[in-house]
């Protein structure tokens, strides 16, 4: 079993990476989710609920979008080289 290393999903040098923007947006959402979980775990503060106040439906939408970004990032290691034409 060989280990193969793929190009970074954020690398755009030389060629246009069609998923570059999607990867950056998903990365930002995952970081926001991680910071929210960190604040909740360490301080008991839910930042999303604190920012959005009394709109639980909007909070649930934000949580769902962050969750989808996390699920998307599970697939990134398996995407390989997007320009590989084998």
Model confidence pLDDT, tens digit, residues 62-84 = 999 999 999 998 887 777 655 55
pLDDT at 74: 87
Beta strands in 1-86 (DSSP E): none
Residues 6+ apart with CB under 8 A from 82: 7, 17, 18, 19
* Residue 83 within any structural domain of the chain: no
* Residue 48 within any structural domain of the chain: yes
* Residue 12 within any structural domain of the chain: no
* Residue 8 within any structural domain of the chain: no
pLDDT at 36: 94
Range of the domain at 48: 20-78
* Residue 5 within any structural domain of the chain: no
Q: pTM here?
A: 0.66
The tally of domains found in the chain comes to 1
* Residue 74 within any structural domain of the chain: yes
């Amino acid at each position: 079993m060989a280990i193969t290393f793929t190009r970074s999903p954020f690398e755009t040098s030389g060629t246009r990476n069609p998923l570059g923007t999607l990867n950056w947006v998903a990365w930002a959402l995952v970081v926001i989710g991680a910071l929210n979980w960190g604040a909740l775990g360490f301080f008991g503060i839910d930042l999303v609920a604190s920012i959005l106040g009394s709109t639980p439906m909007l909070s649930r939408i934000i949580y769902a979008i962050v969750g989808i970004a996390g699920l998307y990032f599970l697939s990134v290691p398996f995407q390989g080289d997007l320009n590989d034409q084998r």
